[in-house]
Chain A
Amino acid sequence: MKMRTTLGAALLATTGWATMAAAQTELSMWYHGAGNPQEAEVLNHIVADFNASQSDWNVVVESFPQESYNDSVVAAALAGNLPDIIDVDGPVMPNWAWSGYLQPLQIDESTIENFLPGPKGYWDGELYSIGLWDAAVALVTRQSILDDLGLRTPTLEEPWTLEEFNAALDAAKESGNFEYALDLGMAWTGEWYPYSFSPFLQSFGGDLVDRDTYQTAEGVLNGEEAMAFGDWWQGLFANDLAPGTSQDPAARETGFQDGKYAFSWNGNWAAMNIMNTFEDTVFLPAPDFGNGPKIGAASWQFGVSSASEHPDGASAFIEFALQDEYLAAFSNAIGLIPPTTSSAQMTENYQDGGPMAVFYDLTEAQAMVRPVTPGYVVQAKVFEKALADIANGADVADTLDAAVDEINADIERNAGYGHTE
């Protein structure tokens, strides 16, 4: 009898699952995390929870390697083959929305009221994407280095000024203990340049583009403040304070731990390795170059493709994923910054007193999103080239003027990228 009951229950359960699966509408999702098993595990867990939590939708994930993810999405958009849910890098989102790859999210925005600003993907007044984490950079060093060089430890309330920062670099160089005073990560190309270095320009008072109109870079990328930034930037390399564009990638990976550099401008994703090497690792806030200390913001975010015939289901999944337990799970798995205070308290590293809690505070206090415009994808590449050229000795004024011309020509070619005054 007992056996019969068990078999009956199993049959019922199997039939139930089969019926539920058959009734569920499939939602395809593309994700950039192929090759990252920890990230995949968390995402698959969320997807499994969502699929089991309701009977309308069944999300199926296809993962792509991050390096080629954007090209795959653009090609699929051209071929009319986009999935329902895609993830998108925050600064790229306006371009994809403007290009018609994305549609606005249908989620209750009160859900994200308490989110850090970086993960919220607004374009043209509408929410197109939302991130489950943010990322931050800091000036990494050791307390013993600060003490040996006789330097004040800067704080969020009182970061180093330009003069203090320059003096710190000079002191490190004159100590003779390091190959270079500062590791900027010049070996990392691509988005690293605009993400991590444009905040320096913005702290000087310049920018990639005039954010009032997004119609020109004139005066902001080649104005007085930008020129001051360019001269300072070039001085870092001309005075042998930092390795330039020929930096060995291996030195970027382990140079600070090997004692080659006194300071390293690096992200929270690299923090754990460094902390494991030095017990007295400290993460210092960005210096204030005159217009407030700044660091970059916005990482990968979820959005709904314009091709989706089920934006309600796709949005339902994204809203489901925004629960604190999942935000904390992602943070614990891959070390990125949870987007809410409540989820931060659920993590090992970002809770009050946690080893990386400083990054949450840095993001909250200093983060500035990159220009929210479809033209950013071009502006980022122009800025990257200009910075590399200046680092290699190009004339600052000529280089920035040329960059402005290129950005303005691109904006004009694209009829202003749809910005309304």
Chain B
Amino acid sequence: MATISADNHGLRLAVRYVVLTLIAVIFIFPLLFMVMSSLKPSDQLLRDTASLRAFLPVGDIGFDNYTDAFSRAPVGLFVFNSVLVTGVTVLLSLFLCSLAAFSFAFLKWKGRDLLLGIIIATLIVPFETIAIPLLLLVSKLPWIGLEGLQFGWLNTYRVQIIPWIADGLTVFLFVQYFKDLPRELIEAARVEGASWWQIYRRVVMPLAGPVLATAAILKFLVMYNQYLWPLIVVQQESYRPVMVGLQYFFQLDTAWGEIMAYLTIITVPVLAFYLVMQRAFISSIASTGVKG
């Protein structure tokens, strides 16, 4: 009996590993295809798509596509712009949205639930429907900078950052997480005479690692993949992000090898960010049931 049970366990384990391996392969293959294709000349790349060679470093391998990609477009500038805009937006978003969520979760004030409901309701509004009104708004907004008072935010970093700092999903994530924290912690801190700011900074946020990671990754992906908004508010190459930059490679004679090289380059920051945050992200998903 015991032998049969051990066999069953071994079989189950083997099946599990086979299934997990298959899933891993399915997820890794597109990345593998991208990286391998980036090393091949366009004609070979297209020929290889019909076979497993597409996933192997075979044939005429080299880094020409990378040098050509840098010649065709200011790749470094685009990556810098995207990382800057994304990084600043993520940091500001985590701070402001968590502050708002703290208020919704722990403070009592008139109209709190109604306002939270309205904020969450914004999740169903597609960005495309507000893009034009928002464009008209930011094109006339004032700004005081080094050159004094100016009107219009077009062709700046701030126009790519500020409208995206606060969003319903991030606030919602923080509110849900904060509500699950033991109330006793907050009450104990209040009894000890801590201010709300101290509770936010010293009690709540140190416990908010998983939700911070989740919100950061989700925001990072949204910001790094921005296309429509920078397309309509940025008309200068010096402020263009990576996704708009991708269009540089779609010419009449499309340079597929260079596209794959460009995609490989711009994927690096995303992978690096995810690898740094993955432990907290998985922990958050496991504990809250939130799916990205």
Contact = CB atoms under 8 A, between A and B. Distances in A.
Interface in B223-249: 231-233, 235-237, 244-245, 247-249
A67 to B, nearest CB: 4
Contact of B135 (A65, A75, A248, A273): A75
A63 interface: yes
Interface string A233-270: 00000000000000011100110000000000001011
Nearest to A76: B235
Given A62-B237, A75-B232, A269 B253 contact: yes
Interface string A361-381: 000000000000000000000
A269 B235 CA distance: 28
Contact of A81 (B132, B154, B249): B154
Contact of B231 (A36, A72, A78, A248): A72
Interface in A61-112: 62-68, 71-72, 75-76, 78-81
B253 A79 contact: no
Contact of A72 (B136, B235, B252): B235
Contact of A68 (B49, B154, B244): B244
B231 A75 contact: yes
Nearest to B45: A250
B254 interface: yes
B139 interface: yes
Contacts of B139: 79-81
- What is the predominant secondary structure among interface residues of chain B facing chain A? helix
Nearest to B132: A78
A254 B232 contact: no
A334 to B, nearest CB: 9
A310 to B, nearest CB: 19
Contacts of B249: 35
Contacts of B73: 34-35
A262 B73 CA distance: 37
Most A CB contacts (10 A, CB to CB) among B72, B136, B251 go to B251
A249 B46 CA distance: 9
A355 interface: no
A30 interface: yes
Interface string B67-88: 0000111000000000000000
B250 interface: yes
A418 interface: no
A76 B244 CA distance: 16
A393 interface: no
B43 interface: yes
Contacts of B253: 269-270, 273
Interface in B104-143: 132, 135-136, 139
Interface in B260-288: none
Nearest to B245: A65
A37 interface: yes
Nearest to B68: A37
Contacts of B43: 254
A30 to B, nearest CB: 7
B132 A68 contact: no
Given A65-B250, A269-B252, A71 B235 contact: no
A78 B136 contact: yes
Contact of A66 (B135, B154, B247): B247
A269 B252 CA distance: 7
Given A79-B154, A269-B252, A72 B247 contact: no
Nearest to B48: A250
A35, A66, A81: most-surrounded residue (chain B CB, <10 A):
A35
Contacts of B245: 65
Contacts of A80: 139
Contacts of A76: 235
Contact of A37 (B72, B232, B233, B235): B72
B251 A36 contact: yes
Contacts of A253: 42, 46, 254
A65 B232 contact: no
> Which 7 A-B residue pairings sit nearest by Cβ, starting from the closest?
A35-B248, A65-B247, A75-B232, A79-B139, A250-B46, A67-B247, A269-B252
7 contacts: A34-B237, A35-B73, A35-B250, A62-B237, A78-B135, A249-B254, A273-B253
Given A75-B232, A78-B136, A253-B254, 20 more contacts: A34-B73, A34-B247, A35-B73, A36-B251, A37-B71, A62-B235, A65-B244, A65-B248, A66-B250, A67-B250, A72-B235, A76-B235, A78-B135, A79-B139, A79-B232, A81-B152, A250-B46, A250-B49, A253-B46, A269-B252
Interface of A: 30, 34-37, 62-68, 71-72, 75-76, 78-81, 248-250, 253-254, 267, 269-270, 273
